[in-house]
Amino acid sequence: MFRKLLLATGIAAALLAPVAASAQDVKTRIIRFGYGLSESSNQGRAVKYFAEELSKRSGGKLKVKGFGDASLGSDIQMQNALIGGAQEMMVGSTATLVGIVKDFGVYDLPFLFNNEKEADAVLDGPFGEKLLKSLNDKGLVGLVYWENGFRNLTNSKRPITKLEDMGGIKLRVMQNPVYIDMFNRFGANAVPLAFSELFTAMETGTVDGQENPVTTIQSSKFYEVQKYLTISRHVYSPWIMLASKRWYDGLSADEKKILNEAAVASRDFERKDSREASAQSIAYLKEKGMQINELSPAELERMREMVKPAFDKYAADGGADVLKDLQGAIAASRK
C-alpha cells in the first residue's frame, strides 16, 4: 500500500510539473543587450550563452537581442540608456561606473589580485555583492561580474621591458582617474578615450598604445595596428552585467528569478571560456607578428612601489573604508 501511495504521488507530481512550469508569470519580452566587443569575442560568446539560457529557462518567452561592437554606444552611453529605461541590459567595465558609484574605482587600483581565484572569491563574496547593491538607487541593477581579465600593454613604438620604456608613449586609458594617474606615474602620456574610438585612434597615430586583456587585443584586431605586447598583468579588470532598474522592477518575481539564474550561469561560462581563450590568444597574437615579452619580477616590483601613492590618494579622496574592506576580503581569500 505504501509503495502504491508513493507511485501515485510520483505520477501526480510528474503530471503537475508541466502545469507549474507553464503557470509561471512570464511574459514574452525582447531584451536589448549591448556590449562593446565583437560577436566572436569571449564577451560575445557569453552574451549568446546568456541568451540561450534565458530562452531555455523561460520557455522561449524571454528573448535577448545582442548588440555588439559598441553599436548601442560606449559603456557610459549604455549605462545612461539603462538608467533612462531606453535599453534593458548591457555588460561593460566596472571602471566606467565610477561616475555613478565612486566605490567601483577600487577595482582599478593596480596589483590587487595575485590570480583569478582570489578575484572570484572577492567579487562573488560579500564585498562584491555590496558594491552590486549600491547601484540600486542609481537606476541600475548589478547582476553578476564577468571576467575581462588581467590587463596588459601594447604599443606601436618599442618593446616595454622596463619602466623607462613607457616614457612619452601616448597610451589610451579608460576615462577613469585611477588609470590616468597610474600611467602618468609610469611616465606615459595617459589619454582617456572611449573604447569605441580606440582602434581608429591607434590607426591614425592619435595614440601609440593601449592596455587591455589579451582576449580583447585579439578580438578587436589590435595586432593590425600594434607591434609590441608586454605582459604586465597590472590590473585585474572585471566586467559587470547590468540591467535597467526601471525595466527590472517591472518584471514578475518569476521573471526576475529566471533572469538572475541565467546571469549566474553566464558568469560561470564566461570565466571558464575567457581563461581558456587567454592562453590561445597569446599564441595567436604571436602568429600575427606581435613581439611579446613579459616584465621581470624586479620591474613589476618597481611598478608596485611607484603606484603605492595611488592607494593613499584613493583613501584620502574618500575611499578609505571601501579600500580597507577590499583588502580584508583579499586577505581572507588567501587563507
Question: What would the pLDDT profile of 223-246 be if each residue is shown by its tens digit?
Answer: 999 999 999 999 999 999 999 999
Q: Residues 125, 56: one domain? A: yes
Whether the predicted pLDDT of 285 surpasses 90: yes
Determine the pLDDT at residue 6: 46
Q: Tell how strand 29-34 and strand 62-67 pair up.
A: parallel
The mean per-residue pLDDT over the stretch 10-17 comes to 47
CATH number of residue 301's parent domain = 3.40.190.10
Report whether pLDDT(272) > 90.
yes
Q: What is the pLDDT of residue 183?
A: 94
**Whether residues 55 and 199 fall in one domain:** no
DSSP 138: G
Domain span holding position 206: 152-235+290-308
Residue whose C-alpha cell is 529566471: 258
Assess if residue 120 is contained within a domain: yes
pLDDT of 103 reads 96
Whether 321 is in a domain gets the answer no
Average pLDDT over residues 59-63: 98
C-alpha count within 13 angstroms, C-beta hemisphere, residue 118: 19
Q: How confident is the model at residue 3 (pLDDT cuts 50, 70, 90)?
A: low
Query: Is residue 3 situated within a structural domain?
Result: no
Do 122 and 265 have their domain in common? yes
Are 115 and 81 found together in one domain?
yes
Same domain, 127 and 32: yes
Q: How confident is the model at residue 177 (pLDDT cuts 50, 70, 90)?
A: confident
163 and 272 assigned to the same domain: no
Could you tell me what percent of the chain has a pLDDT over 90? 87
Same domain for 273 and 182: no
* E strand or H helix that includes residue 32: strand 29-34
Examine the domain organization and report whether 184 and 41 are in the same domain. no
Q: How far apart are CA 266 and CA 260, in angstroms?
A: 10
Residues 266 and 250 reside in one and the same domain: yes
Residue 19 banded pLDDT, cuts 50, 70, 90? very low
Residue 179 pLDDT:
86
pLDDT at 24: 86
| Average pLDDT value for residue range 10-39 | 73
Model confidence at 57: pLDDT above 60: yes
pLDDT of res. 1: 52
Average pLDDT of span 282-309: 95
Does 127 share its domain with 186? no
Dist CA 322 CA 104 (whole Å): 9
Q: Number of structural domains, the chain?
A: 2
Instruction: Give the length of the chain.
Output: 335
User: Greater confidence, 52 or 15?
Assistant: 52
Q: Is residue 4 part of a domain?
A: no
pLDDT, mean of residues 38-59:
96
Structural domain includes residue 86: yes
Whether 35 is covered by a domain: the verdict is: yes
Is the pLDDT at 9 greater than 80? The verdict is no
In this prediction, residue 4 has a pLDDT band, given cuts at 50, 70 and 90, of low
pLDDT of 107 > 80? The answer is yes
Tell me the pairing of strands 152-155 and 228-231: antiparallel
Q: Does a structural domain hold residue 329?
A: no
Stretch 244-273: mean pLDDT: 98
What pTM was estimated for this model as a whole?
A: 0.85
Please report whether residue 63 resides in a domain.
yes
* Residue 81 and residue 42 in one domain: yes
pLDDT at 23: 63
**Residue 83, pLDDT above cutoff 90:** yes
Percent of the chain whose predicted confidence (pLDDT) is above 70:
93
Mean residue pLDDT of the chain comes to 93
Question: Could you tell me the CATH number of the domain that includes residue 271?
Answer: 3.40.190.170
Residues 61 and 159 in one domain: no
